[in-house]
Structure 1
Amino acid sequence: MTSRWIVGGGTYLEQAFRAWQQAHPDDTVEKIDVPQGRDYRFDLGVLDGLNPAQGVMFVAFDERFGNFKRMELMQAAMERGFKLESFIHPSASISAGVAIGMNVFIGAHAVIGHGSRIDYNTVIHAGVHLGPGSRVKASCWVENGVQIGANVDIGTHCTIRMGAAIQAGIKVGRGAELGWPQLYTSDVPNKTVFDIRYDEPIYTHEG
């Protein structure tokens, strides 16, 4: 029987593992914690002990380090020849013409509008509504209940926190974090951070 290995770390690893178990009760689903050293480097020896021909893999690591650590672990798995699957919760509503990349997580009761696109290694948590014609690019993290209008473009490595809503047609630049629980009605430049600890957004100017 083909195994499913859910690999990574932190609370999101447990969440993804339980979701896979619930959705595929008849399959062999194994949770594998990939340890990190003091310098936050992954100990990839646990991957080297698995045979890619005997199963498929899902990489589960949270949004820390701007979603880059999840991407790093995904790339390490691919270099070792593992096939990466995406997870779509059975209760999620996926409309026609939706494109979903590898190692994507779509949680319970998420609604994905027709013609939208979710690129690889992106996490869409429970209850998110993604409007038709929208695109969420690679390695993003979208928290529970976020509302995204039609024809929205969200750049790579973005983090959209709970309580955020994005008006139709808005473009969110790469590496941005929308942490204020509000409606965003204008385009967001690259690497802009809306942190609830501050009254003004933090802008990172690129050279």
Structure 2
Amino acid sequence: MKLAIYGAGGLGREVLELAQHINTAASRWEAICLIDDTPTIDQLKGHPVVTLDALTPAQYEIVIAVGEPSLRHKLAQKARDRGFKLATLIHPEARLSADSTPGEGCVICYGVYVSCDTLMGSNVHLQPNASLGHDCHIGQDTVISSYANLAGHCSVGERVFIGMNAIIRESTSVGDDAIISMGAAVFNDVAPAMIVMGNPARAIRPNVDKKIFK
């Protein structure tokens, strides 16, 4: 089987390095390429850059490598509609409890810690050194940034973005499409499609555009 990384930007380069670490440990893929819907280069770090139409599901599995949760959702659905399977990538030096379950297409980077009985939906991306406490539920297409720390029994919705160094109190609920800004200390539930920041975190405005990076 071959791997195609959907996204040829900065996160695509990071996921490429992750895939190379996995291949060094386990020789999982015979070849790796990157996908760009409108490519301007032929290769990146020695790997071909192609369009999705150039690939066949029988030969490739796909991992999503964009940081925008709403776009992660769209690209994953596009790949599935074409018959591709989403690949789950877990760094050899991430620590996951045997009782925790990553969904299809999850990306779990170096130094991540996932405690017991935690469930992750499909296409979740955990950046390096993120930490999830016991009994957390993480919705699909969510991105949790480096050094973010979720205490036990947190429930995070779909397409959520949690910024670097954010901390979330135990038994807190975060709604779909919410944004937790970097460094935020979240002590109370966060409504769907709401942007919160600060310590303690306070609602700033609705996430009307459903976008992080503008």
Q: Sort the TM-score into its range (normalised by shorter chain).
A: 0.7 to 0.9
Structure 1 match to 2:151: 131
Task: Say if 1:88 and 1:62 are closer, same or farther in 2 by CA, change over 3 A.
Answer: closer
- Which SS does the other structure have where 1:151 is aligned? coil
- Which SS does the other structure have where 1:82 is aligned? coil
Asked if 1 retains the 8 angstrom alpha-carbon contact of 2:8 and 2:34, the reply is no
Task: Say if 1:9 and 1:173 are closer, same or farther in 2 by CA, change over 3 A.
Answer: farther
Q: 1:61 and 2:66 equivalent?
A: yes
TM-aligned CA deviation for residue 103 of structure 1: 1.2
Unaligned runs of 5+ residues in structure 1 are 37-44, 194-207
State the number of aligned residues: 176
Q: Aligned match of 1:162 in 175, 182, 199?
A: 182
RMSD of the alignment, in Å?
Answer: 2.4
One-letter amino acid of the counterpart of residue 117, structure 1 = H
1: distance between equivalents of 2:128 and 2:117? Answer: 20
- Identity percentage over the alignment? 26
User: How big is each residue's C-alpha offset from its partner over 1:52-97, in whole Å with a ceiling of 9 and x where there is no partner?
Assistant: 122321112233xxx3222211211111111122111242111111
Task: Say if 1:156 and 1:20 are closer, same or farther in 2 by CA, change over 3 A.
Answer: farther
- Which SS does the other structure have where 2:206 is aligned? coil
- Which SS does the other structure have where 1:139 is aligned? coil
Structure 2 match to 1:140: 160
TM-aligned CA deviation for residue 189 of structure 1: 9.4
2: distance between equivalents of 1:9 and 1:62? Answer: 12
Asked if 1 retains the 8 angstrom alpha-carbon contact of 2:106 and 2:123, the reply is yes
Task: Say if 1:82 and 1:125 are closer, same or farther in 2 by CA, change over 3 A.
Answer: same
TM-aligned CA deviation for residue 129 of structure 1: 0.7
- Which SS does the other structure have where 1:72 is aligned? helix
Asked if 2 retains the 8 angstrom alpha-carbon contact of 1:107 and 1:124, the reply is yes
Structure 1 match to 2:77: 75
TM-score for both structures, normalised by structure 1:
0.74
Q: 1:92 and 2:112 equivalent?
A: yes
Unaligned runs of 5+ residues in structure 2 are 40-49, 87-104, 209-214
1: distance between equivalents of 2:131 and 2:176? Answer: 21
